[in-house]
Amino acid sequence: MVIVAPSILSADFSRLGEEIKAVEKAGAKWIHIDVMDGHFVPNITIGPVIVASIRKTSKLLFDCHLMIENPEGYISQFAKAGADLITIHAECDNDLKTTIQKIKDSGCLAGISVNPETSLDVIYEVIPDVDLILIMSVHPGFSGQSFIKDVLPKIKQAEELIQKTKKKIYLQVDGGINKENAGIVKENGADVLVAASFIFKSSNYAEAIRQLKDL
């Protein structure tokens, strides 16, 4: 069964708690939180203070996607703020094995993400250590971009690598997901779909989530 993780990046930030409650009521099980620092990506978004604040509004799994330089320096802050899963980027400036171990030591699940142009070779060594692989299907930084279909073979390749580990590793896809492409993304092996604009810009969150799940 596919998991839909609404990304609050397209939510109404003046009503963030209510928005999270609304997607929970609409059937979401995970909340995807896009953390950007203005260095790793051009945009600046959410820090641990906001995560701690919204933690009070929901018991759903908080999936923190760190698009920041030096993620290792911020793991404990996000864990303390209430993250359940912390995903770092393969392109970050830290040692991946060390940082993933730090996430696990903090009590969170650990994820590794690759940008559209990054080969899975870069994360090969750490795949047995992680709980989630995130394949970016847009260049990270902003919601509302178009899905890059060239990443489909990489999703399939990641699925095959996951099979070989014989352990449960989620395969998440993030960027430009909508009802037109959710089917093919799932066919290629994804089991967690992130969507910001498709859900939060729709007039009916439950219908949008259902459309992503049912295709």
Q: Which residues are catalytically annotated?
A: 34, 174
Among 157, 167, 76, 101, which Cα is nearest to 124's?
Answer: 157
Pick the piece of the chain touching Zn ion (CB under 5 A) from 54-62, 75-83, 87-95, 166-174.
166-174
Map tokens 């971009």 to a residue: 145
> 161-179 burial, b if ≥16 CB within 10 A, otherwise e?
bbeeeeeebbbbbbbbbbb
> 12-41 burial, b if ≥16 CB within 10 A, otherwise e?
eeeebeebbebbbebbbbbbbbbbbbeebb
Pick the piece of the chain touching Zn ion (CB under 5 A) from 65-73, 125-133, 150-158, 163-171.
65-73
Nearer to Zn ion, 34 or 191 (CB): 34
Smallest distance, ligand DX5 to C-beta of residue 195, A: 4
Q: Does 131 bind Zn ion (CB under 5 A)?
A: no
- Give the one entry of ligand DX5, Zn ion, none that residue 145 binds, where binding means its C-beta sits below a cut-off of 5 to 8 angstroms depending on kind: ligand DX5
Smallest distance, ligand DX5 to C-beta of residue 163, A: 25
| Residue numbers at the binding site for Zn ion (CB under 5 A) | 34, 65, 174
